[in-house]
Amino acid sequence: MLTRFRLTRRRWNTVLIAAIALFMMLMAAPDLIKQYLIQAEPVSSQGFVLNPDADPIEINYAGIQFYLVDGVWQAIPQKWNHEAHNVVARWIGIQGTPIDTETYQKLKPAFRDPMTIEVWYQQLEEPQRITAYPFDQFWLLSTYDEQWVAVSFEGSSLMPTHSNN
């Protein structure tokens, strides 16, 4: 009776192919579930200020220019060179809490001293212009996809001119 179920070389190959296919399906299952069954939120609702799909090559604000040269961030004036990489890294990773139109309209009367941040990207011809309004507890920033986000951070973490260096 066992001789009927004996695995020949051809049957072993079939078993191995089926096992490998099953293993590959199991490994791909989490991605397939995310892609087809779970409705992921679009990037814009995640509150990124800078475009996550583009590589910045220059950031200008507060009289400081950060620019990329051979993979190294530099600054003008040069006294900010030692902070350039860290400041740009914070700008690239900054995310905020999306603000709806109603909240924006409530905050609008309190807008004072807007700041414009200009970000040039390698892949895009025109720069992104970010408008920033500082408040006591947070900053309101426009995003690459024309949304508004509230961001809490120390002003000196993005504005090296406020540091004592």
Which residue did the predictor score with more confidence, 133 or 80?
Answer: 133
- CA 165 – CA 152 distance, rounded (Å): 23
Q: Which residues pair with 56 in a beta bridge?
A: 121
pTM of the model: 0.65
Q: Is the pLDDT of residue 111 over 70?
A: yes
pLDDT of residue 81: 86
To which residue do tokens 């006294």 refer? 79
Are 160 and 80 within 8 A, CB to CB? yes
- Give the per-residue pLDDT at 156: 58
Q: Is the pLDDT of residue 3 over 70?
A: no
Residues 21-39 have pLDDT tens digits of 999 988 888 877 777 776 5
Going by pLDDT thresholds of 50, 70 and 90, the confidence category of residue 44 is very low
Please give the residue that has the higher pLDDT: either 139 or 163.
Answer: 139
Q: What is the 3-state secondary structure (H, E, C) of 68-105?
A: EECCEEEEECHHHHHHHHHHHHHHHHCECEECCHHHHH
Q: Which amino acid is at 143?
A: T
Tell me the per-residue pLDDT of 45-70, one tens digit each, with 9 for 90 and over: 478 899 888 899 999 988 889 999 99
**CA–CA distance, 141 with 112 (Å, rounded to integer):** 13
Q: Which two tokens stand for residue 60?
A: 């200008």
Identify residue 160 by its one-letter amino acid code: P
Q: Quick check: 145 and 138 in contact, CB under 8 A?
A: no
Return d(Cα 150, Cα 135) in angstroms, integer.
10
